[in-house]
């Protein structure tokens, strides 16, 4: 008769009732490769059946080779490591967004959970609560889920997890809202509204170039080509969001894509006037002048403009003249809409706006303005008139 081996096999387990009334199960996942000691683990439950189920799941994973060794590291602890190593390579503004989302949403809900204990069900309940309890928009919920997903992917690369439990979550659908834009019909009203105002040149250039606010505030004289009537978008102006340090710095444009935008000659003339205006500001400021970035648009002393100040000025101007509640980004949408109304093609628009793909431009500007429809109808009338009349 063969002797019974005293060696404990990986996956074996026992169940017993504790003095406090709970049930406890123990199993062995293998041996420590350094010490050779058995790796023992415990699972707990209110009933014997609950513990037996947990034991079967653990031992089945050991048999399949998909067992994840329990780790004591929490999501909060790993988030700190992830942020200091992985997220540090992201743009500064993205880092700030990640930090806020972690502190305001992910860590309060999941921070104390051990990384290896996190389940798909917990993640789904967390995502659902963002919509149902916190009433966050679909886009915000998807952004929060995306950051959690990226962090768990990093844990897999670090060999702390075998799978990403945030996969296949049910996420809210993002509704494509129609962009709010100033059309060709309202363009003259807009130009009259900004005439003589403090940031008139910024508003004028932006509605005829489609630059993002950070891009136009980060435009340098080196990127203005008066000989070829164009500007180059090579950086954007950003402000630090660190406690005690709110200084400005220049960062690469969105998605790291530089681009060339050919401007109308009237827009180039506005840039000529802006250079003359800045020369006057420099003479008036004297030794206080400090335009170390060589920016096109600055305050009276050559320093970068605060984006909130520019933004608020535009909103106040348009509300006061009765045009409505527009944002600065509306000028970018306005440039695209006016260009399309006046015959520009989608590929040209994609290049001017710096979109990563023409399909994104099409999706964003899928709406058709009244003027575009009238132009289409006029072309159809011209076609019908050119056809030979039936006898």
Same domain (yes/no): 370, 263: yes
Both 91 and 52 in a single domain? no
User: Same domain for 57 and 79?
Assistant: no
Burial of 72-95, coded b for 16+ CB within 10 Å and e otherwise, reads eebbbebbeebbeebbeeeeebeb
Express each pLDDT in 304-362 by its tens digit. Answer: 999 999 999 999 999 988 888 888 988 988 888 888 878 777 788 788 888 777 677 76
Query: What phi, psi does 94 have (nearest 5°)?
Result: -70, -40
Asked if pLDDT for residue 266 goes beyond 80, the answer is yes
Taking the C-alpha atoms of residue 73 and residue 200, their distance in angstroms, rounded to an integer, is 55
Q: Helix (H, G, I), strand (E, B), or coil: what is residue 186?
A: helix
Distance (Å, whole) CA 58 – CA 52: 10
For residue 356, being part of any structural domain is answered with: yes
Please spell the DSSP secondary structure of 25-54, one letter per residue: EEEEEEE-TTT--EEEEEEEESSHHHHHHH
Domain hosting 43: range is 13-64
242-256 pLDDT tens trace: 676 778 999 888 877
Rounded CA-CA distance 120/173 in Å is 19
User: What would the two tokens of residue 123 be?
Assistant: 């993640």
Residue 70: inside a domain: no
As a whole number, mean pLDDT of residues 259-275 equals: 95
Give the CATH number for residue 92. 1.10.150
Same domain, yes or no: 300 and 256: yes
Tell me the pLDDT tens digit for each residue of 105-136.
999 999 999 888 899 999 999 999 999 999 99
On whether both 234 and 364 belong to a single domain, the answer is: yes
335 shares a domain with 192: yes
Lowest mean pLDDT among 79-93, 128-142, 248-262, 285-299: 79-93
Q: What Cα–Cα distance (Å) separates residue 390 from each residue in 142, 261, 322, 385, 386?
A: 59, 48, 51, 12, 12
Q: Give me the mean pLDDT over the 133-143 stretch.
A: 93
What does the pLDDT read at residue 5? Answer: 39
Same domain? For 56 and 79 the reply is: no
Q: What percent of the chain has pLDDT over 70?
A: 88
Rounded (to 5) percent helix, strand, coil in the chain: 50, 10, 35
Whether residue 312 is found in the same domain as residue 249: yes
DSSP helix/strand/coil, 317: helix
Q: Would you say the C-alpha torsion 357, 271, 201, 323 has a positive or negative sign?
A: negative
Greatest CA span in the chain, whole angstroms?
110
Confidence of residue 1 (pLDDT cuts 50, 70, 90): very low
Both 246 and 223 in a single domain? yes
Are 150 and 295 part of one and the same domain?
no
Tokens linked to 316? 């106040």
Count: domains in the chain: 3
Decide if pLDDT at 384 tops 90.
no
Number of helical H runs and strand E runs in the chain? 15, 8
User: What CATH number did the domain enclosing 230 receive?
Assistant: 1.10.443.10
Res. 6: pLDDT tops 50: no
Q: Residue 232: pLDDT above 90?
A: yes
- My answer on whether 45 and 144 are in the same domain is no
55 plus 94 within the same structural domain: no
Q: Per-residue pLDDT averaged across 191-213, rounded?
A: 95
Quick one: pLDDT at residue 71? 65
Residue 175 lies in a domain: no
Determine the average pLDDT of the residues in 154-175. 87
Strand ranges for the chain from DSSP E: 13-17, 23-31, 38-45, 224-225, 230-233, 236-239, 248-251, 259-262
């Amino acid at each position: 008769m063969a002797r019974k081996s005293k060696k404990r096999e990986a996956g074996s387990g026992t169940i017993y009732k504790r003095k406090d009334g709970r049930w406890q199960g123990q199993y062995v996942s293998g041996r420590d490769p350094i010490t050779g000691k058995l790796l023992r683990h415990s699972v707990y439950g209110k009933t014997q059946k609950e513990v037996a189920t947990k034991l079967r799941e653990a031992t089945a994973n050991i048999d399949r080779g998909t067992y994840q060794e329990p780790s004591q590291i929490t999501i909060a602890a790993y988030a700190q490591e992830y942020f200091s190593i992985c997220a540090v390579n992201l743009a500064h503004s993205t880092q700030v967004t990640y930090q806020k989302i972690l502190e305001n949403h992910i860590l309060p809900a999941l921070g104390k959970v051990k990384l290896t204990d996190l389940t798909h069900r917990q993640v789904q309940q967390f995502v659902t609560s963002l919509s149902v309890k916190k009433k966050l928009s679909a886009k915000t919920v998807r952004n929060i889920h995306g950051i959690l997903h990226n962090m768990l992917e990093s844990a897999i690369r670090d060999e702390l997890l075998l799978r990403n439990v945030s996969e296949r979550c049910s996420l809210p659908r993002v509704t494509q809202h129609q962009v709010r834009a100033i059309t060709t019909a309202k363009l003259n009203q807009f130009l009259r509204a900004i005439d003589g105002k403090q940031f008139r040149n910024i508003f004028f250039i932006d509605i005829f170039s489609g630059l993002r606010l950070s891009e136009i505030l980060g435009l340098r004289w080196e990127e203005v080509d008066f000989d070829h009537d164009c500007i180059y978008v090579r950086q954007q102006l950003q402000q630090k969001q660190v406690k005690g340090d709110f200084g400005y710095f220049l960062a690469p444009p969105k998605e790291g894509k530089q681009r060339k935008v050919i401007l109308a000659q009237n827009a180039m003339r506005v840039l000529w006037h802006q250079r003359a205006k800045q020369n006057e500001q420099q003479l008036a400021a004297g030794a206080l002048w400090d335009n170390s970035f060589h920016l096109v648009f600055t305050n009276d002393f050559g320093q970068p403009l605060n984006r909130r100040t520019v933004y608020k000025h535009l909103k106040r101007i348009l509300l006061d003249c009765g045009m409505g509640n527009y944002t600065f980004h509306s000028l970018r949408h306005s440039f695209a809409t006016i260009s399309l109304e006046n015959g520009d093609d989608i590929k040209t628009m994609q290049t001017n706006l710096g979109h990563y793909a023409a399909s994104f431009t099409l999706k964003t500007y899928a709406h058709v303005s009244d003027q575009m429809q009238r132009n289409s109808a006029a072309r159809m009338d011209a076609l019908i008139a050119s056809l030979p009349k039936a006898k």
